[in-house]
Amino acid sequence: MSFTTLRSFSSVLGGFGNKRVHIRPPIIISATNFGNSLFLRQYSSKKKYTEEHEWIDVDDDGIGTVGITDYAQTSLGDVVFVEIPEEGKFVKKSDNIGAVESVKAASDIYAPVSGEIIKSNSNLTDKPSLINSSPESDGWLCKIKLSNPDEFKELLDKQKYEEWCNSESH
């Protein structure tokens, strides 16, 4: 939270004097080109989800960090092995990009978008438990340079993903 002390503006702001007032930071929009599309977005990136329980968080350069959701890791239980994707590989949306094995089950991981895998999280090879302890942060799987930004727009926002998880059809 950011606070500011108002002194000289007290008459303009209705006599706040030296009281502290919470002021929201402005929303900053940036225009980013990747592919043939112009992407308008806030500097803080947005995370989207798939019905298969992957998440992707795309930055202003069109690089998406991909992982499995907390819901998925909870369903799997203690993760004992993670197959990470090969760097430099081009994948299409819904291609298999890896797998997670736990003491209860194994599950494939699918690309939420099309693009080139530019980095894999090699920490998961030695510490697969990062998927359990930090599935939507340190337990990320790979980074994909998006080739079709429209695919990102089609994914579920947090509210729709939570509704999907709570639905009977799930």
pLDDT band at 46 (very low <50, low <70, confident <90, very high): confident
101-to-21, 57, 93, 104, 123 alpha-carbon distances in Å: 50, 23, 22, 8, 16
Q: Same domain, yes or no, for 29 and 96?
A: no
Query: What are 103-145's pLDDT values in tens digits?
Result: 999 999 999 999 999 999 999 999 999 999 999 999 999 999 9
Q: Is 75 found in the same domain as 35?
A: no
- Domain range spanning residue 70? 46-166
* H-helix segments, 97-148: 123-126, 130-133
Query: 52 and 34 share a domain?
Result: no
Residues 29 and 80 in one domain: no
Q: Which pLDDT value is given to residue 2?
A: 38
Shared domain check, 103 and 33? no
The confidence score (pLDDT) of residue 133 equals: 95
CATH number, position 138: 2.40.50.100
Mean of the per-residue pLDDT values for the chain? 80
Domain count along the chain: 2
Same structural domain for residues 64 and 91?
A: yes
Could you tell me the pLDDT band of residue 9, with boundaries at 50, 70 and 90? very low
Residues 136 and 82 in one domain: yes
Is the pLDDT at 162 greater than 60? The verdict is yes
Question: For 15-43, what is each residue's pLDDT tens digit?
Answer: 444 444 344 443 334 444 444 444 444 33
Q: Do 64 and 21 fall within a single domain?
A: no
Both 28 and 94 in one domain: the answer is: no
Residues 72 and 5 in one domain: no
Residue 25: the pLDDT is: 41
Closest CA to 72 of 48, 105, 47: 105
156 and 74 co-located in one domain: yes
Domain identity same for 112 and 136: yes
